Amino acid sequence: KDANLDSISGYVEDSGEGRWTVLEAIQEDVPVNAIAGSLFARFASRQDDSFAMKVIAALRGEFGGHAIKEAATEQEK
C-alpha cells in the first residue's frame, strides 16, 4: 500500500487489552514478559517517529485491525 510508510505515524495505538492483561498478571503474580514488553514498546513509540514503529503500526493495522494514526502533514508539523 505505502512502501515507505509516509502516511503512517510511528505512534502505535493500544486497545487496552495489553494493559488489562499486564495489570491482571501483576495482581495474580503471573509473569507476562512478552505482553508487557509489547505494551511498553507501544508506549515507547509515542516518544519519536521511528520507522520501526511505523512498521509495527502498519502490521497491527493490517493483521489486527487496530487503529493507525496518520502522519502529520508538513503544514501540521
Per-residue pLDDT of the chain (77 residues; tens, 9 = 90+): 788 888 888 888 888 999 999 999 999 999 999 999 999 988 888 877 778 888 888 998 998 898 888 887 766 76
**SS3 of residue 18 by DSSP:** helix
C-alpha cell recorded at residue 32:
507476562
**Cβ-Cβ contacts under 8 Å for 68 (sequence gap 6 or more):** 8, 9, 13, 57, 58, 60, 61
Instruction: Tell me the whole-structure pTM to 2 decimals.
Output: 0.60
62, 68 contact by CB (below 8 A)? no
Give the domains, in start order, of the chain with CATH numbers: 8-70 (1.10.1040.10)
What sign results for the dihedral spanned by CA atoms 37, 40, 42, 48?
A: negative
